Structures are given as structure tokens and as C-alpha cells.
Amino acid sequence: MQWIILIGNEHFNLKLIRDLQHDGENTITSLNTNRFVVDYGNDHVFYESVEDIINDYEEDDIKRIPFPNPHFIMMTYTNGKLMKQILSQDNFPRGIYIDDDNGNILPIEEFIVS
């Protein structure tokens, strides 16, 4: 499994992602209050609120996050193509940033086309 971190402002939260219409999903299952999974048949995407992850960021990385009070959601996935399709959906939040786990923190619009 691979993961990215979705980074948004203080209004960005797990409920916002959970309430989306996830194109192609079979079921959405809450695993606990901070984690849910979207089942796409052969593929699954997990979303988990990880607010304390800011402690793992270097000071230079924190400076690249444009939100004074950032909220973090880990998106764990089995299929990179599906992950990009999800982020490209018209109803997926814009104005957020993506930490791609390769040293890059990019606006979602740049990440989608990378």
C-alpha cells in the first residue's frame, strides 16, 4: 500500500471527504472515529485523520504549508491510477495541498498533473 497526506485549512476534515460521492465505490465503512475505508471492489482507499503528524515535519516543510492551523488526512491506497482519479473528481476539495511522501508538498492541482 502507498500513501499521501492531504493537507487543508481548519475547515478540512474527515467528514468532508466521507460525505463526497466517491465515483465507482461499492461501500464506505467506518473503522473508527478517525478512519474509514472506501471499497472499490479489487481496490480500497483508506482515509485517516492524523493531526499529530505535524510533529514529523521538518521546519522547512512546515513553512511550505500555507495554512496557519493545518489539518492532515492520510490517504492510503492500493492503486495509484485510482488515487489520481479520486483527486481529479469535480467534487473533491480544491485549495488543499498534497504531501507525496517523496519530499514534495504541492497544491492538489499541480499534484494531479504530475
Contact (CB, 8 A) for 87 and 108: yes
Residue closest to 3 by CA, chosen among 103, 82, 85, 74: 74
Cα diameter, the chain: 40
pTM: 0.94
As a whole number, the mean pLDDT across the chain is 94
pLDDT digits (tens, 9 = 90+) for 64-113: 999 999 999 999 999 999 999 999 999 999 999 999 989 899 999 999 99
Domain positions in the chain are 6-13+52-113
